Amino acid sequence: MEEKTRMVLPYEDHFHLKTLDLKKVLTLALSRGGDFADIFLEYRISRSILMEEDIIKETEESITLGLGVRVIKKDRTGYAYTNDLSEEKIRIAALTAAAIASLPGASPQQIHLKQIKPGKEIAVVRSLATTSPLQKKIDLVQKAYHSALNFNQTIKKVQVAYGESTQYVWIVNSQGLSIKDTRPMVKLVAQAIAEKNGRRESGFYGGGGRVGLEFFFRKLTAEEIGREAAKEASLLLEAAEPPAGEYPVILAPGHSGVLVHEAVGHLLEADFIRKKTSIFWNKLGKKIGSEQITIYDDPTIPGFRGSYRVDDEGTQPTRTLLIEKGRVKGFLQDRLSARLMKKSLNGHGRRQDFTNWPVPRMSNTYIDRGEYSPEEIIRSVSQGFYVSRLSGGQVEDSGKFTFSVTLGFMIEDGQLTRPVKQATLIGTNLDILQKVEMLGSDLEFGLQTGTCSKEGQDVPVSDGCPTMKISRMTIGGLR
C-alpha cells in the first residue's frame, strides 16, 4: 500500500520541514524571554478492525499530523499547537506559546541543533503491523472470534477488536537537542458474553505491545485470546455475589499490578509532589510501607506497551527505583518538575499527542518479587478473599483508592473455593502498603492492553506484581 513508500522517506518528509526552520521557530518561541522552548512533531498512522455478529463490520484508518510548541518561564507553561504545518501557522503557534513570558523584546538566542540518536531499541518487531496486508490482520481477528464463540455452549456473543499504530516523533528544544523516534504498537482484544438461565456475564482478554504482527503467532495467539475471554465469561456464570466487609486479601500476580499503578505510582509523579498535593510529597527517604515492598517503573522493557526509548520531551529513560524496602526512593520526573525540584531527569515526560504538553507519567510499573511461593501464601489464610482479576481502579492524591474486581474466589482453610464476581476493594494506600504481609516469588505482568488516563491524556502503560497478601482490606459487595 501507499504506506510503504512513506516508510522509506526521510523523517522530515512526514512533516515537510527542515531542521533550519525549527531553529527559527525555537528562536521565535523564546523571543518574549522564555527560559526553555521545545517543539514536538508527530505523524501517526493508526488502523483498527472490528468484528461482531459474525462479520467484519468495519475498518478504520486514521492519520494524526501536527506539532506543539511549548515555552517554559519559571514554573509557567505556554502551549500552542497546530495541525497546519505551514510556516505562517507554525510562527503563530510559536508566538502564542511565547506570550507566557512577558518580556517585550528579549535578545534572540543562538540555537545549534545537534541530532541525538535514541538509545537501545525497545520495540520487538519482525513484521511491522502498519505495513502488513490488511487481510492478514482480518484473519487474526476472525481466529480470535471463532475461538471464543466455539469455547462452549454458553458463549452467545463475541466482539474482537484489533488496533495498530506507528507513531513518528521528532523533538527539538532550545538546549540544542534534536531526536527522532519510530514507535510501533499493536493490540488484539476479545470480549465474550456468556448466557445461562437468563443470567449474562462478560469476559475479556487481550494482548500486544510494541511488537510486530508475529507476536500473535508466537507469543500469544489469537486463538488463546479468544479462548481466555470466553473462559472468563463462562466461569463468571457460576460466580456468587461478593461478600462485604473486611477480610485478608490475596492478589493474583500480574493483573493486580494495577493496584501498584493506581495506589502508589500516581502519587509518585513529580508534579503532584512539587505541588504538595500528593501525600508522599514530604516522604522521600521515609518508610511508608512494609519492608518487603520494592517498586520500579521501567520504560525500557523490550516489547512492552508502556515502553519507549525516548520520552515525549526527548529524554532517554532509565529504570527508576520508586520504593525500596518500604522507603520512598524516587519520583517520576518530567523536565519541568525535575528542574523546579533540582532533580535529575529519568525520562517520564509523556503526552497523548501533539495537542498536549508532557506531564510526568508511568510506563511499566511493578512490585519486585518476594520470597514466598504462591501456594504458601494461599495456605496462610483460613478465611479471606482471592482477587483473580482486577479490571481497573482510581486513586486520589490523598491516597484514597478503589478497585474493581471482575473475578475473585473465596479462600477457606487455605484453599480457593467458590468464584465471586464484581466486587470492589477500597482503602487508602498508606494503610494497605503497611499491611502487605507476604510477596510471592512469581512476578508477572498483566495484559498488555492497558491505558492510563491523567488530566485528560491517555497513554499506553503496563503493570505487574507477584502474588501479594494484604492482612486486611475492605470489600464492597451486595451483602
Partner 1 sequence: MNPDKNSNNLRQLAERLVQYGKKQGADEIEVTLYDGLEFNVDVRLGKIENLVEAGSKFFAIRVFKDKRAASASSSDLSISTLQLLIRNAIKRALLTHSDEYAGLPVPALFKVDEASLKLYDPAVSRMKPQEKIKLALTTEKISLQDKRINNSFGASFISHELRTVLSNSNGFTGEYLQTYCSLHLGLQAGQDDNLVEDYWFSSKRYLKDLAPPEEVARKAVERTVRQLNPRKIKTQNVPVIFEPTMTSWLLTFLFSCVSGMAVYQKTTFLADRLGEKIGNDLISVINDGLLPAKPGSRPFDSEGVPSQRTVVIEKGVLKNYLCNTYAARKLNLVSTGNGDGNAVIPNNFYLEAGTATPEEIIKSTRKGLLLTRTIGHGLNPVTGDISRGAFGLWIEDGEIAYPVCEITIAGNLGEILKKVEMVGNDLEFESSICGPTIKVAEMTVAGI
Considering only residues 432 to 471 of the shown chain, the ones binding partner 1 according to CB under 8 A are: none
**Residue 78 binds to partner 1 (criterion: CB under 8 A):** yes
Q: Site for partner 1 (CB under 8 A): which residue of 13, 103, 302, 478?
A: 478
Instruction: In whole angstroms, give the CA distance from residue 176 to residue 238.
Output: 61
Q: How many CA atoms lie within 13 A of 175 on its CB side?
A: 11
Residues 136-175: x where in contact with partner 1 by CB under 8 A, - otherwise, as a string: --x-----------------xx-x----------------
**Residue 430 binds to partner 1 (criterion: CB under 8 A):** yes
Q: Which stretch binds partner 1 (CB under 8 A): 94-102, 210-218, 337-345, 365-373?
A: 94-102
Cα 378 to chain centroid distance, Å, stands at 30
Q: How far is the CB of 136 from partner 1 (least distance, A)?
A: 11
Residues 407-426 that bind partner 1 (CB under 8 A): 422-424, 426
Q: How far is the CB of 476 from partner 1 (least distance, A)?
A: 2
**Residue 401 binds to partner 1 (criterion: CB under 8 A):** yes
**Residue 84 binds to partner 1 (criterion: CB under 8 A):** yes
- Which is nearer to partner 1, 195 or 324 (by Cβ)? 195
Q: Which stretch binds partner 1 (CB under 8 A): 113-121, 393-401, 437-445, 461-469?
A: 393-401
Instruction: In whole angstroms, give the CA distance from residue 302 to residue 300.
Output: 6
- Can you say whether the dihedral through the CA atoms of 399, 346, 449, 385 is positive or negative? negative
Nearest partner of 340 among 413, 271, 428, judged by Cα: 271
**Residue 396 binds to partner 1 (criterion: CB under 8 A):** yes
Provide the residue type at 36 as one letter. Answer: F
Residues 334-363 that bind partner 1 (CB under 8 A): 355, 357
- Which is nearer to partner 1, 366 or 403 (by Cβ)? 403
- Which is nearer to partner 1, 43 or 372 (by Cβ)? 43
Place of cell 497546519: 84
**Residue 375 binds to partner 1 (criterion: CB under 8 A):** no
Cβ proximity of 377 and 256 under 8 Å: no
Nearest partner of 156 among 103, 216, 229, judged by Cα: 229
Q: How far is the CB of 202 from partner 1 (least distance, A)?
A: 5
* 3-state class percentages of the chain: helix first, strand second, coil last, to nearest 5: 25, 40, 35
**Residue 397 binds to partner 1 (criterion: CB under 8 A):** yes
Q: How far is the CB of 184 from partner 1 (least distance, A)?
A: 19
Q: What is the largest CA-CA distance in the chain?
A: 77
What DSSP designation does 280 have?
A: T
Q: Site for partner 1 (CB under 8 A): which residue of 11, 21, 79, 341?
A: 79
**Residue 13 binds to partner 1 (criterion: CB under 8 A):** no
Residues 124-143 that bind partner 1 (CB under 8 A): 134-135, 138
Residues 234-253 that bind partner 1 (CB under 8 A): 242, 244-246
Residues 46-75 that bind partner 1 (CB under 8 A): 52-53, 55-66, 75
H helix and E strand count, the chain: 12, 23
Q: How far is the CB of 397 from partner 1 (least distance, A)?
A: 6
Instruction: In whole angstroms, give the CA distance from residue 182 to residue 248.
Output: 46
**How many other CB atoms are found less than 10 A from the CB of residue 394?**
12
Angle between helices 134-149 and 222-236 (to 10 degrees): 30
Residues 98-127 that bind partner 1 (CB under 8 A): 99-100
Instruction: In whole angstroms, give the CA distance from residue 461 to residue 457.
Output: 12
Report phi then psi at 188, rounded to 5.
-135, 120
**Residue 275 binds to partner 1 (criterion: CB under 8 A):** yes
